[in-house]
């Protein structure tokens, strides 16, 4: 006789599988928004919203991403608002390759909000973590949203004192400034996305990155995306949909790898001996921290092919800790390292 199990058991099994499986860990700079519509109007349903974004890492099955339109310090200093939605997306489909544009919609139909993905597919489980609260709804005339990952969202029961202890990755507002005003539609800027990982449409409700699309590194894609001359604003959802590119129809940005790390071209002698290691960074000037496993060293405003005199032993490992553009943004790894003996994975 076949056995039937309650639906909640399948939900538990899914969550156990997602916990046991390795998900993609995202950091500030790994997500960027490429298009926003705050009212899909006659194109879909009035008041409905659309967000197109890209990840600079492959999104593996069971990866979770959190999206909230609650504002940081919207009402109370040091707290999130809690009158809107905090949605947790869990990837139930296959791998989404890096550079694939992902389009999400929140649609109001007959008084009921439905949250789903349009492209590249709808292989996501969507859960609202902010209960009680409200729907995900970007208001025309000014609103904000944040991408996050991990941690716990704690609702304050309508007091606008919600807390979150995960990673805040990216922030976007259709307001011209990041200044909370005691409403759910304006927000202060969360500290971890300063100075790089946020943007404003300058008041535009229909806003899209339109050019260029030639292959570039993650760093240079960020330079492009933060340049307002590469974006177009539109009058309404119809002109937005007609303007290229058609993100909901499927789109990919080509991402090149960056060559960042440490190597040693003359390290075959009998240890110990003195030689030089080479620091590799992209074109430009960078502040770099690296370690030999014992001490940490800082190099300021260096360029590619910077040579450092060092003492090599039989177990020497040199690893880059961080790379930051001078007067710019931190660069996400991976960074390759130099090992005198075989490196651990």
- Nearest C-alpha neighbor of 222 from the set 25, 27, 24, 23: 27
Quick check: 188 pLDDT over 60? Answer: yes
Where residue 21 falls among pLDDT bands split at 50, 70, 90?
low
- Nearest C-alpha neighbor of 213 from the set 178, 175, 249, 252: 252
Q: What's the mean pLDDT in 290-302?
A: 95
Alpha-carbon span 36 to 48, nearest angstrom: 11
Q: What's the mean pLDDT in 166-189?
A: 94
Sequence length of the chain is 345
Measured in Å, how far apart are the chain's first and last C-alpha atoms? Answer: 49
Quick check: 338 pLDDT over 90? Answer: no
> What pLDDT was estimated at residue 265?
82
Tokens 């492009």 appear where? 224
Where residue 9 falls among pLDDT bands split at 50, 70, 90?
very low
CA distances from residue 204 to 147, 250, 265 in whole angstroms, order as listed: 20, 23, 52
Q: Name the more confident of 271 and 36.
A: 36
Q: What burial letters (b/e) apply to 264-301, b meaning 16+ CB within 10 Å? A: beebeeeeeeebebbbbbbeeebbbebebeeeeeeeee
Quick check: 166 pLDDT over 80? Answer: yes
Pairing, β 198-200 against β 167-173:
parallel
Where residue 341 falls among pLDDT bands split at 50, 70, 90?
low
Alpha-carbon span 218 to 31, nearest angstrom: 10
**What's this model's pTM, rounded to 2 decimal places?**
0.89
> What pLDDT was estimated at residue 94?
98
Q: What's the mean pLDDT in 246-275?
A: 90
Instruction: Name the average pLDDT for the chain.
Output: 91
Bridge partners, 188 (sequence order): 72
Q: What's the mean pLDDT in 261-266?
A: 88
Alpha-carbon span 246 to 20, nearest angstrom: 36
Give me the half-sphere count of Cα atoms (radius 13 Å) on the Cβ side of residue 132: 4
- pLDDT digit string, tens, across residues 72-100: 999 999 999 999 999 999 999 999 999 99
Q: Name the more confident of 333 and 43.
A: 43
Alpha-carbon span 288 to 320, nearest angstrom: 7
> What pLDDT was estimated at residue 27?
94
Under a CB-based contact definition with an 8 Å cutoff, are residues 87 and 115 in contact?
yes
* CA dihedral angle for residue 325, residue 330, residue 336, residue 340, rounded to 10 degrees: 80
Q: Record the tokens describing residue 130, joined without a space.
A: 């902010």
Alpha-carbon span 38 to 47, nearest angstrom: 7
DSSP, res 33: E
Under a CB-based contact definition with an 8 Å cutoff, are residues 322 and 305 in contact?
no
Where residue 315 falls among pLDDT bands split at 50, 70, 90?
confident
Pick from 21-30, 106-115, 147-156, 197-206: least confident = 21-30
CA distances from residue 113 to 20, 267, 283 in whole angstroms, order as listed: 31, 62, 47
Tell me what percent of the residues of the chain surpass a pLDDT of 90.
79
Bridge partners, 319 (sequence order): 291
Tokens 């075989």 appear where? 342
Quick check: 344 pLDDT over 60? Answer: no
Where residue 18 falls among pLDDT bands split at 50, 70, 90?
very low
In the chain, where are the structural domains located?
10-256, 261-339
- Nearest C-alpha neighbor of 319 from the set 340, 290, 279: 290
Quick check: 10 pLDDT over 90? Answer: no
């Amino acid at each position: 006789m076949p056995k039937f199990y309650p639906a909640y058991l399948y939900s538990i099994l899914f969550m156990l599988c997602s916990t046991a499986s390795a998900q993609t860990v995202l950091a500030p700079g790994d997500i960027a928004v490429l298009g926003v519509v705050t009212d899909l109007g006659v194109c879909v349903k009035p008041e409905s919203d659309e967000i197109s974004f890209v990840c600079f890492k492959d999104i593996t099955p069971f990866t979770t991403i959190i999206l909230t339109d609650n504002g940081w310090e919207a009402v109370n200093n040091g707290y999130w608002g809690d009158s809107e939605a905090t949605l947790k997306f869990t990837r139930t489909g296959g791998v989404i390759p890096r550079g694939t544009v992902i389009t999400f919609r929140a649609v109001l139909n007959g008084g009921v909000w439905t949250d789903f993905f349009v492209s590249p597919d709808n292989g996501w489980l969507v859960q609202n973590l902010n209960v009680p609260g409200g729907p995900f709804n970007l208001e025309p005339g000014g609103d904000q949203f944040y991408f996050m990952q991990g941690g716990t969202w704690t609702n304050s029961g309508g007091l606008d004192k919600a807390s979150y202890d995960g990673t805040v990755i990216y922030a976007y507002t259709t307001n011209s400034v990041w200044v909370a005003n005691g409403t759910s539609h304006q927000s202060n800027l969360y500290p971890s996305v300063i100075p790089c990982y946020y943007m404003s449409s300058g008041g535009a409700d229909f806003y899209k990155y339109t050019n260029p699309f030639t292959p570039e590194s993650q760093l240079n894609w960020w330079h492009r995306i933060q340049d307002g001359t590469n974006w177009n604003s539109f009058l309404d959802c119809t002109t937005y949909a007609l303007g290229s590119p058609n993100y909901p129809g499927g789109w990919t940005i080509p991402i090149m790898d960056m060559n960042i790390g440490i190597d040693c071209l003359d390290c075959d002698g009998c240890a110990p001996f003195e030689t030089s290691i080479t620091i590799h960074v992209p074109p430009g000037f960078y502040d770099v921290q690296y370690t030999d496993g014992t001490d940490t060293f800082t190099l300021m405003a260096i360029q590619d092919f910077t040579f450092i005199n060092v003492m090599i032993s039989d177990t020497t490992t040199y690893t880059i800790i961080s790379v930051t553009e001078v007067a710019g943004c931190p660069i996400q790894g991976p960074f390759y390292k130099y090992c005198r003996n075989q490196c651990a994975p």
